[in-house]
């Protein structure tokens, strides 16, 4: 098991942190898209894709903590993921937000941006 962990760390340590965070964000977006699709049609393949997306998000994210701090990596991951969630919710699933929800989303994204910029 130790050999497998060392290989995992060795391979992913060669990948830039921002690429790993981007891959982790894309993976969790795929997971959420699949989970939402599963919730609408209950096809097992979407449930499996959701689990895989969430797994790979962690798979790519965890090695970033060996090179960067938790706060910085989490904030960047959160910002990228949130933009993906909003896009999929609004464009793909045609979800509608109330004025209060829009304000909350804008404030949330703003806070993440402020934390990222001033870190």
Q: Which of 96, 98, 80 is nearest to 30 (CA)?
A: 80
pLDDT of residue 119: 60
Q: pLDDT per position in the chain (119 positions), as tens?
A: 789 999 999 999 999 999 999 999 999 999 999 999 999 999 999 999 999 999 999 999 999 999 999 988 988 898 899 899 999 999 999 999 999 999 998 998 888 788 777 76
SS3 of residue 73 by DSSP: helix
pLDDT of residue 45: 98
Q: Which residue has the tokens 């130790």?
A: 2
Q: Which residue has the tokens 């910002």?
A: 79
pLDDT of residue 114: 84
Q: Could you count the other beta carbons within 10 Å of the beta carbon of residue 56?
A: 17
Domain ranges of the chain: 14-117
**pTM summary value:** 0.86
């Amino acid at each position: 098991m130790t050999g497998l962990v060392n290989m995992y760390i060795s391979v992913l340590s060669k990948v830039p942190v921002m690429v790993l965070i981007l891959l982790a964000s894309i993976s969790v977006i795929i997971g959420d898209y699949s989970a939402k699709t599963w919730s609408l049609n209950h096809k097992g393949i979407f449930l499996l894709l959701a689990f895989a997306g969430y797994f790979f998000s962690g798979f790519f994210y965890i090695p970033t903590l060996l090179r960067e701090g938790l706060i910085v990596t989490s904030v960047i991951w959160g910002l990228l993921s949130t933009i993906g969630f909003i896009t999929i919710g609004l464009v793909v699933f045609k979800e509608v937000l109330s004025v209060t929800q829009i304000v909350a989303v804008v404030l949330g994204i703003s806070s993440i941006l402020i934390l990222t910029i001033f870190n």
